[in-house]
């Protein structure tokens, strides 16, 4: 990062190589002082245990019980390891189960099991509903199930490291690219830097898809 910034400083201001080296050294020192305490913090992510929510979800979904040999919360809402599985078979209105079960996806991972149902049509309805309700990156499709993952929490350390890697490089590339249209124009170069930084932020935050 320091090397890239020093190159940019040298190229933008037409300074000597000594000035570029000085910029590089200062960038390394300042970056070390600022980033070391941040990156040294240990943030432990606590993953939700589906068993902690099983009884709550079963109790909440008893209102949809249809009786013996039909859909029942105690038999069709089960622990599936890393998620809670809601089986949609034997249910007259499975979309109600999906709509109700979706409210728990901020607490734990929910898997909607479509095995032994009118699968193709039901999956299409479920996916359409989920696409209109949540971020599509949370949806995992498998042959007989559709899983809704927990909301993604951005890793602060990962963001910082990606910023260190991408932003200086893309800002320099942006400045060089814009300079092709108006060589030597400082304002055009600054515009290229801003464009490169914006592209880098889009990549880091994964909002450019």
pLDDT tens for 97-144 read 999 999 999 989 999 999 887 778 899 999 999 999 998 889 999 988
pLDDT tens for 12-34 read 555 554 555 565 566 666 766 76
Q: Decide: 34 and 28 in contact? Cβ < 8 Å.
A: no
Query: Who has greater pLDDT, 155 or 179?
Result: 179
Query: Would you call 7 exposed, middle or buried from its count of C-beta atoms within 10 A (0-12, 13-18, 19+)?
Result: middle
Q: Decide: 144 and 119 in contact? Cβ < 8 Å.
A: yes
Find, among 34, 41, 39, 80, the residue nearest to 57 by Cα: 80
Say if pTM beats, i.e. exceeds, 0.75: no
Place of tokens 């390394």: 28
Place of tokens 């949370």: 138
Query: Who has greater pLDDT, 29 or 7?
Result: 29
């Amino acid at each position: 990062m320091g090397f890239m910034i020093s190159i940019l400083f040298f190229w933008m201001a037409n300074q000597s190589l000594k000035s570029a080296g000085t910029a590089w050294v200062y960038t390394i020192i300042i970056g070390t002082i600022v980033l070391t305490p941040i990156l040294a913090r240990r943030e432990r992510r606590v993953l939700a245990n589906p068993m902690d929510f099983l009884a709550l979800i079963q109790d909440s979904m008893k209102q949809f019980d249809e009786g013996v040999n039909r859909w029942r919360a105690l038999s069709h809402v089960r622990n599936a390891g890393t998620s809670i599985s809601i089986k949609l078979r034997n249910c007259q209105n499975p979309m109600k189960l999906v709509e109700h079960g979706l409210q728990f996806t901020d607490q734990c991972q929910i898997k909607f099991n479509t095995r032994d149902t009118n699968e193709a049509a039901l999956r299409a309805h479920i996916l359409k509903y989920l696409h209109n309700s949540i971020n599509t990156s949370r949806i995992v499709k498998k042959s007989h199930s559709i899983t809704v993952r927990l909301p993604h929490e951005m890793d602060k350390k990962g963001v910082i490291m990606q910023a260190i890697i991408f932003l200086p490089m893309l800002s320099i590339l942006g400045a060089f690219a814009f300079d092709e249209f108006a060589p030597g124009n400082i304002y055009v170069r600054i515009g290229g830097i801003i464009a490169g930084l914006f592209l880098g932020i889009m990549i880091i935050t994964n909002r450019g898809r």
